Structures are given as C-alpha cells and as structure tokens.
Amino acid sequence: MFKLPAAFFTGVRTKELKENSCVVSVKHRWVNQNPFNSMFWAVQGMAAELTTGALVMKKIKGSGKKISMLVASNNASFTKKATGRITFTCNEGHKIDDAINKTIETGEGQTVWLKSNGVNADGVEVSSFNFEWTLKVKS
C-alpha cells in the first residue's frame, strides 16, 4: 500500500509470487473504469508491471547484490474489453537470472524483456504487456 498506493486504491493485488512466476489480479470497479465501462488501460498496466517488477525485485534480493532496476520501455496490446476480474501472469522469471548474472560479472547494464498477459474469468486474453527492464550493479 505504501510503495504503490495507486495500485492499492484501484484494487490491484498480488495473488502469487514464485521463483519464476507472479500472478496479480484486479477487479473492474467504478474506481478503475474508463468512460466505456471497462477497466482503464493504466490500471491494467499497473497490474501487468507488478507481475514483472515483483519478479525482478525477488531475483535481485536473492542475488545478494545491490542492483538498480528501471523500466526503459514498454508496449501493450488490447484484444477484448476488460470487465470482471482480470488476472495478469508473468512466467518469465528465468530470463532475469541471465541478466543479473551478466551485470554482476561485467558491471555493465543489462536489459531483459518480460511479458505479462491479462485474462478474464473465462480465460480469454484481454491485454498483453511487454516491459523492458534495465538492471545494473550499483557502484
């Protein structure tokens, strides 16, 4: 709540955080809707980013090193109206390991693209987000 107050107030909640996957859900409500009675794209983006960011944070903590992280770029596609409960999942935590190992070995910044898909209660994809994370060992 204190680190991501906008996500908290719009209903974004982490449901599961494992070694290589993270699941976040958010329910379409009045506070997070757009004028077209579906979930605002930015709320979907917060939930999607959290799935990838939580994995990056977990992997950094596990490395025991001080590593900075920042989203350098992102893109998204929207394929269906987002209503009801939307669940975002990122299963690409294994990609982060390589980037962390390379930045530790070389001292140079590394980038990693992570994908998060949002599906409705029927399992139909409503949106897909890609985030390019930059990682660098702090000096």
Domains of the chain and CATH, by start:
5-137 (3.10.129.10)
Q: For 112-134, what is the mean pLDDT?
A: 98
**Which residue matches tokens 């980013």?**
49
What pLDDT sits at residue 139? Answer: 82
Q: What is the pLDDT of residue 2?
A: 63
Please, are residues 83 and 29 in contact by the beta-carbon 8 Å criterion?
no
Query: Which DSSP letter does residue 84 get?
Result: S
Position 69 scores a pLDDT of 97
Q: Are 24 and 12 in contact (CB under 8 A)?
A: yes
Tell me what the pLDDT averaged over the chain comes to.
96
Query: Residue 46: what pLDDT?
Result: 96
Q: What is the pTM of this model?
A: 0.94
| Rounded distance between C-alpha atoms, residue 56 and residue 50, angstroms | 10
3-state secondary structure of 138: coil
Mean pLDDT along residues 46-56: 97
